Amino acid sequence: MSLDDQQRAQKSAEAMWANDSASRDIGMRIESVAPGEATLSMEVEKRHTNGHAICHGGFIFALADSAFAFACNSYNKSTVAQHCMISFLAPGKLGDQLTAHAKEVHLAGRSGIYDIAVTNQDGMKIAEFRGMSRTISGTLFEEENA
C-alpha cells in the first residue's frame, strides 16, 4: 500500500528526528508536519541566553533552520540547505516559547524556496528566515511503490 502525502511527510519527519541529536539536544519539539510545511518549537532556557540576557541568535537560527529542514524533507527525498538568511526582528527572552513555522514558497526540480516565521507565545514575530533547498540523492526511508 502506498503512502499518501501526509503519511509520507510524517514518516519522513520521524526518520529525520531519530537522527537529529542537534535539534533534540537544544530542546526543540516537532509540533506538526505536512507536505512542504513544518512547525517546531522550543522554550528559551538560561542555556540559550547570551551576554545581553536574551536568546542567542544562533539558537533562533537553529530553530528556523530545523523547521526548514523538516519542511523541505517532507517528500522523502534527501534535501539540504543551499543558502539561508535570517532577519532578527525582536529579542527572544528567557522563558519565551518560540515557534518556527516553515512553508514552501516554490519547488521546481531539485530547488526549493521556504519562508520561516519565528514567533513567541504572544504571536510577536521574532525573526524571518528564508531558506533555499537542494535535493540530493537518497531518501529518508525505504518506500514501496504500489
The model's pTM is 0.95
pLDDT in tens, 67-125: 999 999 999 999 999 999 999 999 999 999 999 999 999 999 999 999 999 999 999 99
Rounded distance, CA 65 to CA 127, Å? 12
Name residue, grid cell 533555499: 132
CA distances for 16 relative to 32, 37, 86, 106, 139, angstroms: 14, 15, 23, 22, 10
The neighbouring-strand residues paired with 128 are: 87, 117
**What domains can be seen in the chain, in order of their start residue?**
5-135 (3.10.129.10)
pLDDT tens column, 5-17: 999 999 999 999 9
